Amino acid sequence: MKKQLSMKIFAPNVWTVEGPCVDFFGFPYPTRMVVVRLTKMDEGDCAWIWSPITISDELAEEVESKAGPIKFIVSPNKIHHLFLKSWVNRYPDAVVYAPPGLEQRMVAADIRFDARFGEGETAPEFAKEIDSVIIAGSYFMEEVEFYHKPSKTAILCDLIQRHEEANMTGFKGLLMKMGGVVGEHGSTPRDWRFTFWPFGKTELRKARDAIFDWNAEKLIIAHGQCVDTGASEVIKNALHWI
């Protein structure tokens, strides 16, 4: 029987949904979606979707019943796109945000984007409740990080990974550990870190400082263990390499 995906409350008006593992260059990566109920929009409460996972009628109905009509769909980086199209097609009235680099990829050629993150772009409509920072300076990938102000929850994608150590077995598990993305001291993948050299560190440090200024109490990440208290210190320790 197919496992039923369902929302789990993480903070007031913030839910996570655990999705299936996907293959990333031969490595199994768990997927996680975030749903936020926005309560300060002029038109009333609505749902903000981050990094969509596999869609189903049951999940879509649960999101709408708990968080309200789906108003915003957000992809945090150019590689978190696998399930985006199905959500975009189901919700033609939602505002779909593109991160830097995704629209230029062939895999996104038939996905509709209505807005984008980046320098010179209009501030998102949801900025009253959710702040955003772009991790820039890498020649491989830029990523958008978010902060839900009311619950003091940072929502980070691949910048910090904390894969379950119990699942890291064999040669692939060893490589993941060497990559610095396993356990409570997990951090940014080492191969991504190197793509900020030699000229991207100034932009990276600026983004890091903006994240530190959030002083987050909670942390949701895409891959691995989230943090429900003391997130600010966890983030600072994970980003010590910058």
Name the residue with tokens 């409509």. 125
E-assigned strand segments in the chain: 8-11, 14-18, 22-24, 27-29, 32-38, 46-50, 70-74, 95-98, 115-116, 130-135, 143-148, 153-156, 218-221
User: What is the residue-averaged pLDDT of the chain?
Assistant: 91
Q: Output the CA angle 164-217-98, nearest 5 degrees.
A: 75
Over residues 167-218, the pLDDT tens digits come to 655 655 566 666 778 888 999 999 999 999 888 899 999 999 999 999 999 9
pLDDT beyond 50 at 1: no
Would you state the pLDDT for residue 26?
57
As given in the structure block, the two tokens for residue 25 are 């260059």
pTM over the 0.85 mark: yes
Amino acid identity, position 203: E
Domains and CATH numbers, the chain: 8-238 (3.60.15.10)
Select from 177, 145, 178, 179 the least CA-distant residue to 164: 177
Highest mean pLDDT among 21-25, 26-30, 66-70 belongs to: 66-70
- Whether the CB-CB separation of 57 and 74 falls below 8 Å is answered with no
Instruction: Give the pLDDT of residue 181.
Output: 83
- The answer to whether the beta carbons of residues 141 and 79 sit under 8 Å apart is yes
pLDDT at 12 over 50: yes
